[in-house]
Copies of this chain bind each other. A is one copy, B any other.
């Protein structure tokens, strides 16, 4: 087992929360004891919640001293958790190694800086997949080096950069992706394809996006709701119906969702001015996809269906897979 093995575990953990950390980046952190034992592997899960490094530190400390569970449970937020880690670490992680998919932050954001946490707990070495180039957060490596902690940069850099693509894109203006559900033999139509767990995941993403774009034909045929009812307290996204025809049957459920703005337009320009945009639709929409839509999310069921597939020419790169019970989610980059 080498550095790549451990970093890949950290990156895999981060992928579980891809998109769900918006507007933050997805980040993972694995901690190896002085003796080389894996103590924890955690990720940043949601904006406002602890960073990956803090989650991994808490999990590792609890493993080494189960009595700390009760202590950490008293924390009401990430700041308090951070303070409790500093007060209670008892040098348990002295000499440990951290594998982080992104350079630890050096700034006081919603939480104090992770570079400082690793420094105070006496980590011996921090292995970093890729540098943080953002103005406010960069510089973590320097903080560590000044404290005498050795660092190594670039382990699994390509995978880490892929993981961060949405973050850099939405930070710089726009990240857009297309979501589709398919059977094993490429059928997208004729009733619900994906299972409850997949649809719950879709609803969690919908509740974070700035805008949902859907084609007029899909709206007429599927009469969708496009809400987030499967998750608690989800925000229902605004919808842009991409259509030349402006008249729609307003009894289609999506028009009756509270606090939602629905726009009908034959232009997508307004969509690409929003930070995080989800496109939904069928094979026709995917065939005619705007080049600015970079990623494709495929929820694939575990069934073949006796029906016609979506038919188009498209090349993808599968970056990561997740399982939702008997469905799989393929995180894909569109190549052409």
Interface bits A163-189 vs B (CB < 8 Å: 1, else 0): 000000000000000000011111100
List the B side residues contacting A328 at CB < 8 Å: 318
* Contact assessment for A312 and B321 in the assembled complex, using a CB-CB cutoff below 8 Å: no
- Given A35-B37, A36-B35, A186-B187, residue A303 in contact with residue B314 (CB < 8 A): yes
Flag if B187 contacts A309 (CB, 8 Å). Answer: yes
Can you spell out 21 A-B residue pairs with CB atoms less than 8 angstroms apart?
A: A1-B38, A1-B39, A1-B40, A5-B38, A35-B37, A36-B37, A36-B38, A38-B38, A184-B314, A185-B185, A185-B186, A185-B283, A186-B186, A302-B316, A302-B317, A303-B313, A303-B314, A303-B315, A304-B314, A307-B311, A309-B309
- Chain B neighbourhood of A37, CB < 8 A: 1, 35-37
A207 within 8 A of B: no
How far, in angstroms, from A253 to B317 measured CA to CA in the complex? 34
Q: How large is the interface on A (under 10, 10 to 19, 20 to 34, 35 or more residues)?
A: 35 or more
Q: Does A306 contact B (CB under 8 A)?
A: yes
In the bound complex, CA of A183 to CA of B315 (Å):
10
Q: How far is the CB of A73 from chain B (nearest CB, A)?
A: 21
User: Residues of A at under 8 Å CB distance from B?
Assistant: 1, 5, 33, 35-41, 182-187, 283, 298, 302-318, 321, 326, 328, 335
**Given A35-B35, A184-B186, 13 new contacts (CB under 8 A):** A1-B39, A35-B36, A36-B38, A182-B185, A184-B314, A185-B186, A186-B187, A302-B335, A304-B310, A304-B313, A306-B312, A307-B311, A318-B328
Determine the distance from Cα of A316 to Cα of B185 in the docked complex, in whole angstroms.
12
In the A-B complex, the 9 residue pairs with the closest CB atoms: A185-B186, A36-B37, A186-B186, A309-B309, A35-B35, A304-B314, A1-B38, A185-B309, A186-B309
**Chain B hits for A302, CB < 8 A:** 315-318, 335
The CA of A159 and the CA of B209, in the complex, are separated in Å by 37
Name the distance in Å between A156's Cβ and chain B's nearest Cβ. Answer: 16
Q: Which residue of B lies closest to A309 (CB)?
A: B309
- The smallest beta-carbon distance between A188 and chain B, in angstroms, is 9
Bound complex: CA A295 to CA B317 (Å)? 26
Query: With A and B bound together, what is the CA distance between A303 and B313 in angstroms?
Result: 7
Q: Which residues of B contact A312 (CB under 8 A)?
A: 185, 304, 306
